Structure 1
Amino acid sequence: MKTEAQFENADVNMARRSFLHYAGAGMAALSVLSAASCKKDHSKPQMTTGIDIGATGDLAILNYAYALEQLEAAFYINVAAHMYTGASDDEIALLTDIRDHEVAHREFFKAALGTHAIQALTPNFSSINFSSRASVLGAAKAFEDTGVSAYNGAGYLLKSADYLLLAGKIVSVEARHASYIRDLISPSSFADSTVIDSNGMDKPQSIAQVLAIANGYLTTKVSAINYGYKAY
């Protein structure tokens, strides 16, 4: 049986092999933005505790997404490496697929941001019992619902049309994950009123709201103070 580290290495290699195909125009656009930001004389950021996503427009939002994808990838790597008792073959296959998607998302942002990427975060999953189906799926639901609401809540802050397109592609995958997890827990709950508003649209959450949730599963806390939000 593979160890967690072996799962991680295999997943990173998979993500890197598909990266150029996945990134498309957004990667080229980010290179231009990164080069431009290096030439600017930014004011000294405010002092914060933990890791801050930064103050520079699209780069800050991409680091915000990168932080969330790090957390989701770490969670599903644990799930796949220590599958809960009683998991069906379908559950094992599809949760492994979700792991691969999240690792690909994480590696995309890491490679795209380059030297502008925040550091690797340290998760804290002590509140999750990975041998319990209810505990794992409950946490997965929280991560996926939060991820969808995060992309929907921060998308309007992106100035680059290329980044907005990429965010739309990723959030649509996250919504597929959320629907699957929700139906595993309670059939037909994939689009109930807790996540969909009266107009049939996903409910967004602000950066501050999302980081307050995410930081509950992180030893390394993430803030958005320099971007103008109180994160925790």
Structure 2
Amino acid sequence: MPLGSLRPSPLVEQATQHLREQITQGEWPVGTRLPGENALAKALGVGRSTVREALRALAGAGLVQARQGSGVFVIATEIAEDWPARLRRAAITDVYEVRMMVETQAARMAAQRRTEEDVAALEEALEARARAAAQDDAAFVDADIALHAAVVAAAGNPVLTDLFAEFAPALREGLIGLVEVLGLRSADRNPGHDTHAALVAAVRDGDAAAAGAILQAELEQTLAQLHGA
């Protein structure tokens, strides 16, 4: 497949796309050394800087790798699926099982490390969850997730906080569906309030064992409902 000259703009995106197609369609198999920057620039009708940026994008996608003094080589013909994309297509029960492991430990850590600011944020999130009970299911789920996010934040570990943030979109979609399908708010517009209040109290009081146990039991119950949905 000939490369062909590119239209004026946006050159980097077009160069990246053309080179990616060469790789993913098998024109350059794994292990192939790509033509040099000058050759690629001439074939594509662009400058070397454009080619360099395109190769950097392909390296970021996991398709090529620059080797000192040897050139740029194809290392894969399929773009690696990123973590958010994998979460979006994962079964909600699988996501929830991992969430349970991560968040239960986070609750224990939160009880040991919480600051006055963390406690204030938790109490405000609990109140916001109660206020959201008067709203629709999506708003209530958002408030529920925000409370759990506040617990994770109180653990004081930025990696845990970022990990939970990655889970949140998939959790939101699955929980809204669960609430709607099972009618979990038909009898009680604020289900689980007492459990969440006890969780906040355990973190505030520095009771790591209680915080972990409360959250473990709550998430196990929800996971059982997800399996049965």
Q: TM-score, normalised by structure 2?
A: 0.28
Q: TM-score, normalised by structure 1?
A: 0.28
Bigger radius of gyration among the two: 2
More helix by share: 2
